Amino acid sequence: MTRFTLAIAATMLAVLLLLGVENTPPYSITAAYAQDDPDDDLDDDIDDDIEDDIESDVEDDIEDDVESDIEDNIESDIESDIESDIEGDIESDIESDIEDDIEGDIEGDIEGDIEDDVEDDVEDDVEDDVEDDVEDDVEDEAEEEAESELDDDLEELEASQKSSEAFETRAAQAARDTVDLASDDQNQEVIANEQILLLDPDTVSVLSERGYRIIEQEELAGLGQVLVRIETADTFDLEQEITALTASGPQNEIDFNHVYRAQQSTARLDARGYSPSAFAQDNSAWQRTRRNTRARIGLIDTMIDDRHPALDRSRIETRDFVGGARPQEHGTAIASILVGAGAGYQGLLPNARLMAASVFIDHSNAGDIAPTDLLVRAVDWMVSSRVGVVNMSIAGPPNRVLAAALAQASDLGIAFLAAAGNNGPNARPAYPAAYETVAAITAVDTDNRVYRRAGRGPHIDFAAPGVDILCADLSGSFTTDSGTSMAVPFAAAVFLSQCSGSYCGNVPRIMSDLGRRSIDLGASGVDPVYGYGLIQP
């Protein structure tokens, strides 16, 4: 109950008490005594008037007092309420202000602390970053200096090694340039007093047990064997050594270090021959082969002059197995027929990538010769380089070590093609063409007549254009050449068109498929002059 309600209740109680006084017994007793006296009546009237006046005055006073009290109470209550409200509002405002101030202070303190912390963290991070950067810079500079010094040391070491290797290479080259040639029991050219061996790595120790003097030893990563050159005396018994070595390992082979030669005739010093691209003009299959073939193709031959205008746009990677001065003529001519891509001259496969191995030595007395050990090293590189087809426009005697290397590479899916030889129809079979794992290629002219100096025999597999072929020479121009060497690139291009991957795959199957598609020439069926006939893309 509010203070205002209590004030009203108190006022009403006071009025009731006053009204109760008017009806007290004294007033009624006085009236009883005045009933029979006129004066009494007058007195009664006066008393009544007086009473009425008194009552009226009392009532007025009471009413005034009540009203005044009520007003006072109301005013007091209103003032009290207003004061209370004001005080409450003030207190509330003060509390709110205080709370806001406190909250503001707290928030300010928190924000200030956070800002301070953030600033401190940022400053710390910046300082740390700066310190780290400085440390990193110092470390980098130190590393760079160390690396630079190491690089300088390595460069000096490499230069020293290269100088030493170059000296050794020049010494080896000089030794090979002047090495004596001899003949084996078949009257074939060999390096005098020297044999080569192809061995399993586990049986190399046999050499020292048998007292061999090793000239050179090299691991062949592609073939997984070791190639060794040894020096032997005139009393060396090859058959006896073969028996001893094969007993130590069935894959071990030993033979003389035979020499091989490029198979080309004397070139005509003119440029009236047939460009390789001319053979594709009227043959849609040749055109597709030339345009679409981008795979790797191998060449084992002399060094190449890749600055020739016919080759300056070609994709050629070379590997020199000779070192020092070496011939370039034959390899440059064959490379131009295979991958020539110069202005005004196009080879058979201008988009293919040529992997060219240099294996010929310019011998001071014997001319351009390729020792067997260099041929074997080149075959191993072809395996490691995942070449599908290899052009070998060379010829020479049979060799057990070379035959083993070619057989292993052929089993891996590489097709080897070699020249049938230019020693005439009655010459002995030329190798490596005569090996079963190698395709032997003979040459024909534009009328499909066999080249007059081409070798013959049951080992001949295919005929291809090889007479009056326009090719690059070492003068930076072009010449016309003929021979079974010139025919091998045409057959190699066809073989490569049959390969679907890095290696060709099943080489005998490819040869069989191409045999069925060839144009039969000469006697019906396979013959010793043309083999299956003119090879077709």
Question: What is the separation of C-alpha 422 from the centre of its chain, rounded to a whole number of angstroms?
Answer: 47
Name the pairing type of β-strands 394-395 and 389-392: unpaired
What confidence category does residue 68 fall into, taking pLDDT thresholds of 50, 70 and 90? low
Q: How far apart are CA 38 and CA 426, in angstroms?
A: 199
- Compute the distance between CA of residue 121 and CA of residue 406 in angstroms, rounded to an integer: 72
- The shares of helix, strand and coil residues in the chain, as percent rounded to the nearest 5, are 50, 20, 30
Going by pLDDT thresholds of 50, 70 and 90, the confidence category of residue 25 is very low
H-helix or E-strand spanning residue 44: helix 38-177
Question: Residue 343 corresponds to which tokens in the numbers above?
Answer: 């202005």
Query: 77: which 2 tokens?
Result: 């209550």
Specify burial of residue 412 (Cβ count, 10 A radius: 0-12, 13-18, 19+): middle
The CA distance from 255 to 302, in Å, is 23
Select from 398, 434, 436 the least CA-distant residue to 258: 398
C-alpha distances in Å from residue 483, one per residue of 74, 83, 211, 453, 533: 140, 130, 45, 8, 17
Nearest-angstrom CA–CA distance, 517 and 527:
15
Structure-token pair, residue 514: 């191409």
Residues 330-347: tens digit of each pLDDT: 999 999 999 999 878 989
Report CA-CA distances (Å) from 128 to 132, 138, 334. Answer: 6, 15, 66
The lowest-confidence range among 55-64, 170-179, 214-223, 432-441 is 55-64
Distance from first CA to last CA of the chain, Å, rounded?
120
417-449 pLDDT, tens digit per residue, is: 999 999 999 999 999 999 999 999 999 999 999
Radius of gyration over every alpha carbon of the chain, rounded to an integer in angstroms: 60
349, pLDDT greater than 80: yes
The model's pTM: 0.68
124, pLDDT greater than 80: no
pLDDT average, residue stretch 241-264: 80
- In angstroms, the CA 357 to CA 303 distance is 7
| Residue pair 481/268 in contact by the 8 Å Cβ criterion | yes
Contact 338, 347 (CB under 8 A): yes
- CA distance linking residue 38 with residue 31, whole number of Å: 13
Least trusted range by pLDDT, from 118-127, 172-181, 260-269, 456-465: 118-127
C-alpha distance from residue 153 to each of 147, 149, 164, 315 (Å): 9, 6, 16, 34
Give pLDDT tens digits for 488-527: 999 999 999 888 777 888 999 999 999 999 999 999 999 9
Strands 469-472 and 478-481: antiparallel
Q: Which residue type occupies 391?
A: N
Q: With 90 as the cut, is the pLDDT of residue 9 above it?
A: no
DSSP state, residue 385: T
Element (H, E) at 492: helix 484-497
pLDDT greater than 60 at residue 47 = no
Residue 531 DSSP class: B
CB 314 within 8 A of CB 518: no
Is the pLDDT higher at 247 or at 391?
A: 391
Res 111 pLDDT > 80: no
Is the pLDDT at 119 greater than 80? The verdict is: no
Calpha distance 111→130 (Å, rounded): 27
Distance, CA of 426 to CA of 452 (rounded, Å): 11
Render 47-69 in DSSP notation, one character per residue. HHHHHHHHHHHHHHHHHHHHHHH
Map out the domains of the chain as residue ranges: 3-104, 183-257, 260-517
- What's the CATH architecture for 183-257? 2-Layer Sandwich (3.30)
Distance CA 485, CA 426 (A): 18
- Once rounded to an integer, what is the mean pLDDT over residues 365-387? 95
pLDDT of residue 255: 93
Helix axes 284-292, 484-497, angle to 10 degrees: 80
Q: Across residues 297-320, what is the average pLDDT?
A: 95
Length of the chain, in residues? 537
Inter-helix orientation angle 400-411/372-384, to 10°? 10
| Topology, domain 260-517 | Rossmann fold (3.40.50)
Q: What pLDDT is stored for residue 62 in this prediction?
A: 43
